[in-house]
Amino acid sequence: MKLKITDISKSYGKKTVLYPTNIDVKTGKCVVICGGNGAGKSTLIKIITGIEKATSGSIRFNTKDKKHFSYMPDHMNFHAELTPVEVLDYYASFIGATKKKIKAVLERVGLWDKRNHKVGSFSKGMTQRVNLAQALLADVDLYILDEPTNGLDPFWVIQFKWILQELIDAGKTVILSSHIMRDVEEISDEIVILFEGKIKTAGTLEEIYSQTGYTSLEEIFLSMVERKVEA
């Protein structure tokens, strides 16, 4: 699935949190929206999913079924008394996922052995893996992931990158947001850097490095912060 984001913006009263934004997402690619806190990443993700309504602009999918995507929010408040199996059973009831798929997904996120433990006893990283599992449960063309590595330890950050590659290898399209620049460099086909609600640069890593003269995303982000302080 591909989509075209045209002049999408978001304001709350007189405060603009996302200025007119244009992004083309190609089929089978991973587009990473990155930036610091307050950059507008989650706002843009929520507009793409339909959770938030844009103040202006449009999003065009190359399918009539605009809801044919899976979404992983940056945080999920799962009921503390539920187990991973019960959580996924609930989501499976909406999308027709099988027991076999639930087992496969829980195995992939390393929680099959904890399938009957209450989510309330889980660490932040384990809870985030339940969140990832519910997103992987659906077999769709587009996966939208908001800060998916939040709370994951180094081992599971690596596993997440492998999971992402598996999706891309299967022809899926992925849009994700992240504030962890070093991870972004490894998993992206294209990168969009947001700063205070505006796109500062976008393209492949090579294109961005060529445009800016820097050799890492961390350097680019720090230069933006420094310019703001100097101003």
pLDDT at position 25 over 80: yes
Domain shared by 65 and 87, yes or no:
no
Domain shared by 85 and 43, yes or no:
no
Domain shared by 127 and 147, yes or no:
no
pLDDT (average), residues 69-80: 94
pLDDT, position 231: 60
Domain shared by 89 and 188, yes or no:
no
pLDDT at position 208 over 80: yes
Which residues fall within 8 angstroms of residue 173, CB to CB, at 6 or more apart?
A: 1, 2, 25, 26, 27, 28, 29, 30, 141, 142, 143
pLDDT (average), residues 2-31: 96
**Contact (Cβ atoms closer than 8 angstroms) between residue 189 and residue 167:** no
The tokens of 202 are what?
């976008």
Domain shared by 191 and 174, yes or no:
yes
The domain that holds 32 is classified in CATH as 3.40.50.300
pLDDT, position 2: 84
CA distance 57 to 77: 31
Q: Which residue has the higher pLDDT, 9 or 229?
A: 9
Domain shared by 46 and 97, yes or no:
no
Domain shared by 58 and 107, yes or no:
no
Domain shared by 146 and 135, yes or no:
no
Domain shared by 127 and 56, yes or no:
no
Domain boundary among 86, 118, 139: 139
Q: What is the domain count for the chain?
A: 2
pLDDT, position 1: 79
pLDDT (average), residues 210-214: 92
Domain shared by 109 and 167, yes or no:
no
- Domain carrying residue 99: 77-139
Nearest to 33 by CA among 172, 162, 200: 200
Domain shared by 17 and 40, yes or no:
yes
**Contact (Cβ atoms closer than 8 angstroms) between residue 166 and residue 132:** no
Domain shared by 49 and 86, yes or no:
no
pLDDT at position 49 over 70: yes
Specify the pTM: 0.93
**Contact (Cβ atoms closer than 8 angstroms) between residue 134 and residue 78:** no
